[in-house]
Chains A and B, each alone.
Chain A
Amino acid sequence: MKLDKSLVVMLGLLVAIFAASPWIPQWILFIITLAGANGLVVLGLMLFMRLGLVSFGQALFFCAGAYTTGMLSLLLKVSDIILLMVASGIIAGLLAYLLGFLLAKYRAIFFGLLSLAFSMILYGVLVKSETLGSTDGFTVSGLTILGLVPDPTQMKIVLFGITIIVVMASLLFVNMVLKSPRGLLLTAIRDNEIRAEYMGASAKSTIHLIYVIAGVLSGFGGAIAAMVSGHIDPNMTFWTTSGEFVFIAILGGIGSVSAPFIGALIFGVIQTIAYGYSPNTWQMTIGICLIAVILVLPDGLWSLMAKMRKNSRV
């Protein structure tokens, strides 16, 4: 399996950060871990964008993953983070499988809006549920790994490590999917669905498959976010959360599998700067950044790297 040069660089970078983790300040580790979680969700979004679809309700699976982690931890007292993460991915994937039957029939903006509707319905259900704490949500604590119980600081580093591993695995997996015959179909379906079907491909089943993959990735992302921030609440499925994911997708661009993670990291940085520098007008700061990126770099930040590489390779 041939790997892009950029992918190799990205993997190398991740390993380097992993190795350096004991020396990185805690607050930066936290931001990177969250960026990893968000990046996983956006990776799924990127697959959709290659298909020409935008999912405005991807936060549904993110939240489903987070709540699975929370409920397993709270009700069944499961505390092993690997177990929790795998379970979250499976449940989110299952949910995606079921919803996919319906959603795979929709195209263009209706796909996005129907997925938005479902995410808001989940929001309503969660807010209604007083046992799950309604809008207050609940906390996740007492996490262990493979039987060991590290103290909170060490646990953050362990979570960071697990996130890096999951991110690397996802990068390789999605890269494999994109290079496979199914993956090449994505762009074909986006360009002209009818012609793709004439060739014998099934748009519906491809979309369904991508929906499940994106669902599983989002489930992992939700689990990581829940475990690292320690708190789960219905806001994770609100439309503004989905909006953030789409924002990151545009910020990063769809040029490569690494783009979502770069976008997520930069978004995390922009958010923190906006809060810190302009506590009274942080929304405006984020809005201006978004417009700037769209106007100046319509293919996302990744296109910047692609252009620099092209220019250097004369």
Chain B
Amino acid sequence: MSNLLIVLIDGINYAAWLFISAVGLTLIYGVMRVLNVAHASFYAFGCYVAVTLAGFWFSHNYPPHLSFFALFGASFVAGFIVGWILERFLLRYQYAKDEVVILLITYAVFLILDDVLKLIWGVDPYYASDPYELLGNFSVGEMIYPNYYLLMVGAALILGLGLTYMLKMTRSGKLLVSVIHDREISSAMGINVGRFFSLTFSFGCALAAIAGGITTPTISVVPGLGVDVIVLSFAVVVTGGLGSLPGTALAAIIMGVVRSFCVHYVPQLELFVIFSVMALVLVFRPRGLFSLAEARKI
């Protein structure tokens, strides 16, 4: 029994990480129908910013408990600014193009940003594990877990619930939902679609960056960090249904728990479990678990 609990804890922890990493991607796609491959670079960017700030923070002996706000806040702001610049000067002029072409543009941006990050921070790995250790541990039976896991799950919950609240309850959120459903009519009704796109894209990139910032204390930041994250994020987002927040959450939970089972009981299958789940879901529900209703144009 305690074995099952351990598998679930590991699964939920991984699911929280998957969700945080993927939520920015699904938001941008849902609103703008742009599959942002540069999501990977923003994740890496968030990591680098967080690790640099952590180094600065701890070497200057600022209060360690505030470091979390500093790290996550810095990643968020940095991601937001760069995302805004990208949208304003490059993407804004490409919305008329085909989805795939925009995807290729974001892929090109990803390639460029990857090397820019390398030029700024070099190839050395950086780490900043103090925030991770600060929080201490909790134990389940004999197994020790760091409390940081709870922080990640908490962050995932706050993000998920916060975004859902924003979309459903606030006025801007409802305007955003109308933009999701039909750009033209929203524009005709007087909604400033361009501004929503701009804000959404920047926000989505900021989310990617903060995902990086949250993950940073647990890892060593190396070049090429984003590449593997992007593949997983895609898998999660597509399985859940592009543009659907509850879908992403459910897909993250399913994949996290299934993967955890695999690691504990059948480690050999771990390599393709994520993509097999994705393929399986797509076979039975071609648009993902929860997908946005789309009118077909005759």
| A and B assemble together | yes
Residues of chain A at the chain B interface (Cβ within 8 Å)? 54, 102, 105-106, 108-110, 112-114, 116-118, 120-121, 123-125, 127-128, 192, 194-195, 239, 243, 246-247, 250, 280-284, 286-288, 290-291, 294, 298
Contacts of B151 in A (CB 8 A): none
- Whether A102 pairs with B283 at a CB distance below 8 angstroms is yes
A-B contact list, 13 entries, CB within 8 Å: A109-B99, A113-B238, A113-B282, A117-B282, A120-B231, A128-B271, A194-B296, A247-B104, A281-B118, A283-B115, A284-B112, A287-B108, A291-B105
B242 interfacial contact with A, CB 8 Å: yes
Secondary structure type dominating chain A contacts: helix
Contacts of A114 in B (CB 8 A): 279, 282
B107 interfacial contact with A, CB 8 Å: yes
- Whether B279 pairs with A118 at a CB distance below 8 angstroms is yes
A-B contact count (CB 8 A): 99
- Whether A284 pairs with B111 at a CB distance below 8 angstroms is yes
A123–B272 CA distance with the chains assembled, in angstroms: 8
A286–B105 CA distance with the chains assembled, in angstroms: 12
- Whether A283 pairs with B112 at a CB distance below 8 angstroms is yes
- Whether B108 pairs with A110 at a CB distance below 8 angstroms is no
B81 interfacial contact with A, CB 8 Å: no
Secondary structure type dominating chain B contacts: helix
Kindly provide the distance from the CB of B225 to the nearest chain A CB, expressed in whole angstroms.
14
Contacts of A118 in B (CB 8 A): 279
A110–B99 CA distance with the chains assembled, in angstroms: 12
A102–B116 CA distance with the chains assembled, in angstroms: 41
Interface flags, B259-290, vs A, CB<8A=1, else 0: 00000000010011001101100110011000
Nearest residue (CB) in B for A238 is B231
A68–B245 CA distance with the chains assembled, in angstroms: 42
Using A112-B100, A117-B282 as known contacts, list a sample of 6 further A-B pairs with CB atoms less than 8 Å apart, ordered by residue number in A: A116-B234, A284-B116, A287-B112, A288-B112, A291-B108, A298-B101
Contacts of B235 in A (CB 8 A): 117
